[in-house]
A and B are shown apart, each in its own frame.
Chain A
Amino acid sequence: MRAFDFVSAESADQAVSLLSEHGPNVIVLAGGTDILVDLKHAKHDPDVVVDITRADDLKGIEVNDEGLRMGALVTHTEIMDDPYIQENFPALVHAAHTIGAVQTRNLGTLGGNLVTCVPSMDSGPALMALEAEVTVAGPDGTRRMDLEEFFVGPRKTVLEHNEVLLDVIIPKRNLGKPTDFLKFGLRKGQALALVNAASALWVGEGNTFKDVKISLGAVAPTVIRAPAAEDFLEGREITPENMAEAGRLAVEDAKPIDDFRASASYRRDLIAVLTKRTLDNAYRLAQND
């Protein structure tokens, strides 16, 4: 690693002022599981690294008036261990569980995963299907936006150098919404997704799809929604055929590429299958409620 200075922030505010003071060539350090790898490979050469792991206001999982709030510093292990999430959002537990291995999940944070913003991130799809919002703190206060707006492109979010991600909120209307997440990697552990997908739905009158949200990862420059598939399902009867058709339509919504992990055509097959299965699993969850 190249030489840099290291400072520690005790709060989000302090992090913002340290970033402003030392910027623009500064970098936020949370769990370090993405950024330390980049620093070692000299992909970044910051003057100053601002450690935020001691900022307590970025931690914690709670249900408040707005919905379920998860601080940016919540680790993947904390998500897996949280009783409320276990009870209400098994998809989030499962998504967290697929990330790296125990050591990575103990260090790696939800915020870090979203800010790194690789298309294959495993936290993205389930949160996007649940219409999660994020809060960003900067020198001029905070702003709130949909997760979709937060993602700009591969490895790029809306964050300025002197802004931090504060938290992620699943809106109240979606608390307990039946959701499923599936990841297809080449191994069970330590493997990035070739494709991952999530579906969230309510069951409407006459056993129909209601408020279906489908989200896909590793098939476009950022995690995306699958609007064609969602529109098709809305109000239709819940049948295996309709789920399969949604899978086919989801392929149209995506722009998968060939890379060293998989070919685009393999990814297209995966999209159809994973979409169908997540819909099916989410529906099963709804029935068990």
Chain B
Amino acid sequence: MTDDVKVADKTDSLTDLKETDEDLRLPSVVEPAHFPVETIDTEARHQTPAVGQRATRPDGRLHGLGQTKYIDDITFPNMLFAKMKRAGISSALIKSIDTSEAEAMPGVAAVLTGKEIPVNSYGPSYQDQPVLADERVFHAGDPVAAVAAVTEQIAEEACERIKVEYEPLEPVYDPVEAMKDEIKVHPPHSNIYATKRIKKGDLEKGFAEADHIFEGVYSTQMIEHVPLEPHASIAQWDPNGRVTLWSSLGRITLGRADIARTLDMPINKIRIVGTIVGGNFGGKNEITTEPALALLSRKTGRPVKMVYTREEEFIASTTRHPFIMEYKTGVTDDGMITARKVRLVLDGGAYCSWSETTLGKACILSAGPYNIENLLAEAYCMYTNKTMTGAMRGFGAPQVCFAYESQMDEIAHKLGIDPLELRMKNAFHEGSASPTGQVLQSVVVKDSLEKAAERFGWKEDGQ
């Protein structure tokens, strides 16, 4: 990302960036508040008797007996099985969808396309994802039709017989490339769909005070959660016009509102039974197939179940954002950080999902647990024609941690300072302020660093 000055110009001139915190000038260390800091005993094991105790799980016995009922273990009389036809092309206009051959197959109870969905969009923050793509395909894992049949096998074969005519469009996969907006994933909208900027102190002054400037670009890859239990749900539409959904969804209240919106019906007609989740890790925090299953159940009058295949877990569920992270850090000869400038580009994939939340947290944490007086952190979340990215353990924190800690090591190496020492010099302490001005309490960064170093013999082994 060295030669894309143009891109930087462009994003700098974006009018929708919030500049209201322009004058925010926060000192990096603030007097600790009087309450409750003094009353907190930082020795963790004094705080609660639970720490250090062995706890058993109330549901552990059923798990071990194989008696826990995950969705796929639940069956209803007369139940149908659904499968989805996936686009297999990452950007295209849909010219036509011919489902006649699938519908004519023995054992097929119903076929559903996007046109039949009352409000064909959903999402936990922006509603930018079609339940079933009907006009345009945004990534290869997009479903374009759903089939309910008496067996999974028939549903799968029926999907193969659905004919979709596409007009291929040029896709954009590289998030930095996507910043140029030459190819738009969701026209007419910009690919930059969320931004955040945090400013503190005086960046220029900070860099002027530095004896050394370190610059680096770090990147992380896309990661799938791989819960052992794939996404699954069952829908049952009853003759009173109410629908019950059994789902492996982690946030049922939010999901319920999203489903009500897509089905254009009052929320009180929707009941969600959140079953025991066989692993979530952030990947099951939003609805996926539920609205389509509800409508298939309405069409057939029968309960309908769908379980993702392992392949669908990878192509059609959310993943962890790949990040491209530019870091510029000013350091004095003795290793004190005087200024840091960070630019994060998040590859958001085709839909927002929890990108906004990830972006925010990543941006706030991007400076690391260090006292830095002069800081500018900017983050951009980009649409690309890839599997969408969303929440995953840490919401962006692991990615930036990789970047700032990598750079800390580079700094230590270059300046000949012990890497532990460098961190100790700059680390947060009781009463430090985070980049957004939060006064931190119970700060044990230094204690834990020291303890860890002692335990694995850092000092003896040297570097």
Chain A 1-18 against B: per-residue CB contact (8 Å), 1 yes, 0 no? 111000000000000000
**B153 interface hit (Cβ, 8 Å):** yes
Contact residues, A24-67 vs B (CB, 8 A): none
Chain A 122-154 against B: per-residue CB contact (8 Å), 1 yes, 0 no? 000000000000000000000000000000000
Q: Which residues on B sit within 8 Å (CB–CB) of A2? A: 153, 157
Contact residues, B139-173 vs A (CB, 8 A): 153, 157
Q: Which residues on A sit within 8 Å (CB–CB) of B153? A: 1-3
| Nearest Cβ on chain B to A37's Cβ, whole angstroms | 11
| Nearest Cβ on chain B to A265's Cβ, whole angstroms | 21
| Nearest Cβ on chain A to B149's Cβ, whole angstroms | 14
| Nearest Cβ on chain A to B29's Cβ, whole angstroms | 45
| Nearest Cβ on chain B to A186's Cβ, whole angstroms | 15
Total number of A-B contacts with CB less than 8 angstroms? 4
| Nearest Cβ on chain A to B81's Cβ, whole angstroms | 14
Q: Which residues on B sit within 8 Å (CB–CB) of A1? A: 153
Tell me, in angstroms, the Cα distance from A1 to B153 when the chains sit together: 7
Tell me, in angstroms, the Cα distance from A2 to B153 when the chains sit together: 7
| Nearest Cβ on chain A to B94's Cβ, whole angstroms | 24
| Nearest Cβ on chain A to B222's Cβ, whole angstroms | 14
Majority secondary structure, B binding face: helix
Contact residues, B76-92 vs A (CB, 8 A): none
Tell me, in angstroms, the Cα distance from A76 to B254 when the chains sit together: 50
Q: Which residues on B sit within 8 Å (CB–CB) of A3? A: 153
| Nearest Cβ on chain A to B187's Cβ, whole angstroms | 33
Smallest Cβ-Cβ distance to B154: which chain A residue: A3
Smallest Cβ-Cβ distance to A41: which chain B residue: B311
Tell me, in angstroms, the Cα distance from A3 to B157 when the chains sit together: 10
| Nearest Cβ on chain B to A112's Cβ, whole angstroms | 22
Chain B 17-52 against A: per-residue CB contact (8 Å), 1 yes, 0 no? 000000000000000000000000000000000000
| Nearest Cβ on chain B to A46's Cβ, whole angstroms | 15
Contact residues, B152-211 vs A (CB, 8 A): 153, 157
| Nearest Cβ on chain A to B315's Cβ, whole angstroms | 14
Tell me, in angstroms, the Cα distance from A2 to B157 when the chains sit together: 8
Contact residues, B105-158 vs A (CB, 8 A): 153, 157
Q: Which residues on A sit within 8 Å (CB–CB) of B157? A: 2
Tell me, in angstroms, the Cα distance from A135 to B157 when the chains sit together: 39
Chain A 54-95 against B: per-residue CB contact (8 Å), 1 yes, 0 no? 000000000000000000000000000000000000000000
Tell me, in angstroms, the Cα distance from A2 to B159 when the chains sit together: 13
| Nearest Cβ on chain B to A130's Cβ, whole angstroms | 38
| Nearest Cβ on chain B to A79's Cβ, whole angstroms | 30
Tell me, in angstroms, the Cα distance from A2 to B156 when the chains sit together: 9
Tell me, in angstroms, the Cα distance from A3 to B153 when the chains sit together: 9
| Nearest Cβ on chain A to B9's Cβ, whole angstroms | 36
Chain B 294-312 against A: per-residue CB contact (8 Å), 1 yes, 0 no? 0000000000000000000
| Nearest Cβ on chain A to B310's Cβ, whole angstroms | 10
| Nearest Cβ on chain A to B124's Cβ, whole angstroms | 32
Tell me, in angstroms, the Cα distance from A3 to B154 when the chains sit together: 10
Smallest Cβ-Cβ distance to B157: which chain A residue: A2
| Nearest Cβ on chain A to B391's Cβ, whole angstroms | 27
| Nearest Cβ on chain B to A47's Cβ, whole angstroms | 16
Tell me, in angstroms, the Cα distance from A1 to B156 when the chains sit together: 9
Tell me, in angstroms, the Cα distance from A44 to B190 when the chains sit together: 44
Tell me, in angstroms, the Cα distance from A164 to B157 when the chains sit together: 31
Contact residues, A220-279 vs B (CB, 8 A): none
Tell me, in angstroms, the Cα distance from A69 to B460 when the chains sit together: 55
Smallest Cβ-Cβ distance to A3: which chain B residue: B153
| Nearest Cβ on chain A to B102's Cβ, whole angstroms | 16
Tell me, in angstroms, the Cα distance from A3 to B152 when the chains sit together: 12
Smallest Cβ-Cβ distance to B160: which chain A residue: A42
| Nearest Cβ on chain A to B155's Cβ, whole angstroms | 13
Contact residues, A168-209 vs B (CB, 8 A): none
Tell me, in angstroms, the Cα distance from A48 to B327 when the chains sit together: 60
Tell me, in angstroms, the Cα distance from A171 to B62 when the chains sit together: 54
| Nearest Cβ on chain A to B153's Cβ, whole angstroms | 7
| Nearest Cβ on chain B to A194's Cβ, whole angstroms | 19
| Nearest Cβ on chain A to B308's Cβ, whole angstroms | 15
| Nearest Cβ on chain A to B334's Cβ, whole angstroms | 40
| Nearest Cβ on chain A to B311's Cβ, whole angstroms | 8
Tell me, in angstroms, the Cα distance from A3 to B107 when the chains sit together: 14
| Nearest Cβ on chain B to A5's Cβ, whole angstroms | 15
Tell me, in angstroms, the Cα distance from A184 to B153 when the chains sit together: 38
Tell me, in angstroms, the Cα distance from A76 to B20 when the chains sit together: 67
Smallest Cβ-Cβ distance to A40: which chain B residue: B309
Tell me, in angstroms, the Cα distance from A3 to B106 when the chains sit together: 15
Smallest Cβ-Cβ distance to A1: which chain B residue: B153
Tell me, in angstroms, the Cα distance from A1 to B157 when the chains sit together: 10
| Nearest Cβ on chain A to B425's Cβ, whole angstroms | 37
Smallest Cβ-Cβ distance to B152: which chain A residue: A1
4 closest Cβ contacts across the A-B interface? A1-B153, A3-B153, A2-B157, A2-B153
Partner-A contacts on B (CB < 8 A): 153, 157
Partner-B contacts on A (CB < 8 A): 1-3
Q: What are 4 A-B contacts with C-beta separation under 8 Å? A: A1-B153, A2-B153, A2-B157, A3-B153
